[in-house]
Amino acid sequence: MINSKEIIIIIYVEDQKRSREFYTALLDNAPSLDVDGMTEIPFNETTRLGLLPGDGIVKILDGNVDNPNQNTAYPRCELYLYVDSPELYYERALSLGARGISEVKPRNWGDNTAYCSDFDGNIIAFAKRKSEK
């Protein structure tokens, strides 16, 4: 059984310090762990975002994977975050250096969603259900 009381979503980053500063400001939350090789920023009491340098995962897995920093031209993951104001979070991300992909608009699955990407090509979506005012 999966322990849903502790979930860490880890993304690979090239520059841990730069990504820590970006996500700390974007999520308006301080890291709960910040050591050389891993930063964790809480979303809530049970879920954290982990920032792991690409070189680090190569070491951890004894070189049995390619270094994710070698190709950031393609998205590697998507963080789909429900927020109270997708417009506000989208603008905040852009002001912190994210690349805008798509401004907030209604999507066919029932959300109003904006998309941007971080420095490493990871996609960040800010969403709100259409039914929520």
**Is CATH 3.30.720.110 what the domain over 74-133 is classified as, yes or no?**
yes
Least confident of 55-59, 102-106, 109-113, 126-130: 55-59
pLDDT in tens, 70-107: 876 677 899 999 999 999 999 999 999 999 999 999 99
**Is CATH 3.40.50.150 what the domain over 6-67 is classified as, yes or no?**
no
Phi-psi label, residue 115: left if phi above 0, alpha if psi -120 to 50, beta otherwise: beta
Q: What is the pLDDT of residue 133?
A: 58
Task: List, as one string, the DSSP characters of 37-104.
Answer: TEEEEESSSSEEEEEEEHHHHHHHTTT-S--GGG--SS---EEEEE-S-HHHHHHHHHHTTPEEEEEE
Q: What is the pLDDT of residue 132?
A: 65
Q: What is the pLDDT of residue 67?
A: 85
Q: What is the pLDDT of residue 46?
A: 95
Selected residue with higher pLDDT from 3 and 18: 18
Where along the chain do the CATH 3.30.720.110 domains lie? 74-133
Kindly report the pTM of this predicted structure.
0.90
**Side chain identity at 2, as an amino acid letter?**
I
Where along the chain do the CATH 3.30.720.120 domains lie? 6-67
The Cα-based distances of 38 to 44, 48, 62, 117 in angstroms read: 18, 12, 17, 20
- Cα distance between residue 54 and residue 74, in whole Å: 15
